[in-house]
Amino acid sequence: MIYNYDDLYFQVLTIAPFSHKQGSFDVHARPYAALSFRVSGIGDFEIGEKHLITSPGDVLFLPANTSYNVNYSVSKSIVVHLGYCNYFEVENICLNNSSRIESRFRHLLEAWNDRHSINHAKSIIYDILEKIASDQKLSINDKVIANCVRYIDANFCDPKINMETVCATAFISASSLQRAFAKYFGMSPKQYLIQLRMNRALELLMESKLSVKEISSACGFTDEKYFSRAFKKKYGYPPSQLGKYLENI
């Protein structure tokens, strides 16, 4: 699945809302891929031997050079066109918590309309894919863990959040929480928390003029030096040098 493809590469070409009229359409192959969130309506796709139906709340990925026939009801989508994308599987992803992913697509669209920053858009897209991966790993039978994830997602910028407060909120033991996160995410709850903070820090570094100290604090870090070390370990360069790094890519 695209959200688990570690070697994923792409360039952002456009991000826009699309409205579809009711009817049947033959779409010729295009030299770019498309990642879309269906806001409303139905899309019934025939792609080679594959038959996919996308409903409101679904995420659809169509690789480059793909021809298809689609029957639309009156519908709306947020669509990201990707150039040089190295993933080639047609996929429709049904989400457990579509509102969470929709909010990220809407944020992506707003950020693109505001600045047209390719690197900022890419950081949000990677975050969307991480959240889709999290969504797909949580089933209906894991409501307690889902509540823990929602709590962390809503409060990760609070420097006071810790695993004790998460456990108390969901009435779960620390050992059970650790086992569940290892099973569903392949990491500890603390690592998941740090990952959210790092994603947000990267966004702020790209979209704001805040200092490294201010961003560190805004993302829930109480130690600026720890934040800088962790950021460099994850992204390969310190936050203070992000501007120079972007100029060279």
How high is the pLDDT of residue 220?
94
How high is the pLDDT of residue 248?
46
How high is the pLDDT of residue 198?
86
Say yes or no: 123 and 157 in one domain: no
- Domain total for the chain? 2
Instruction: Tell me the pLDDT of the chain (249 aa) as tens digits.
Output: 898 888 899 999 999 999 988 999 999 999 999 999 999 999 999 998 888 889 999 999 999 999 999 999 898 999 999 999 999 999 999 887 888 899 999 999 999 998 888 888 999 999 999 889 888 776 545 778 888 888 898 899 999 999 999 999 888 899 989 988 887 777 789 988 988 888 888 878 877 688 899 999 999 999 999 999 888 887 777 888 765 544 444
Say yes or no: 218 and 184 in one domain: yes
Say yes or no: 243 and 171 in one domain: yes
The Cα–Cα gap between 65 and 5 comes to 20
Say yes or no: 29 and 124 in one domain: yes
Say yes or no: 22 and 124 in one domain: yes
Say yes or no: 94 and 178 in one domain: no
How high is the pLDDT of residue 207?
72
Domain, as residue range, for 14: 2-132
Q: What is the CATH number of the domain that holds 90?
A: 2.60.120.280
Please say which residue of 115, 132, 149 terminates a domain: 132
Please say which residue of 132, 163, 182 terminates a domain: 132
How high is the pLDDT of residue 209?
80
How high is the pLDDT of residue 114?
87
Say yes or no: 195 and 88 in one domain: no
Say yes or no: 53 and 161 in one domain: no
The Cα–Cα gap between 241 and 59 comes to 35
Say yes or no: 27 and 127 in one domain: yes
Please say which residue of 82, 98, 132 terminates a domain: 132
Say yes or no: 39 and 104 in one domain: yes
Say yes or no: 56 and 172 in one domain: no
How high is the pLDDT of residue 117?
83
Say yes or no: 40 and 158 in one domain: no
Joined tokens for residue 204: 């702020």
Q: What is the CATH number of the domain that holds 190?
A: 1.10.10.60
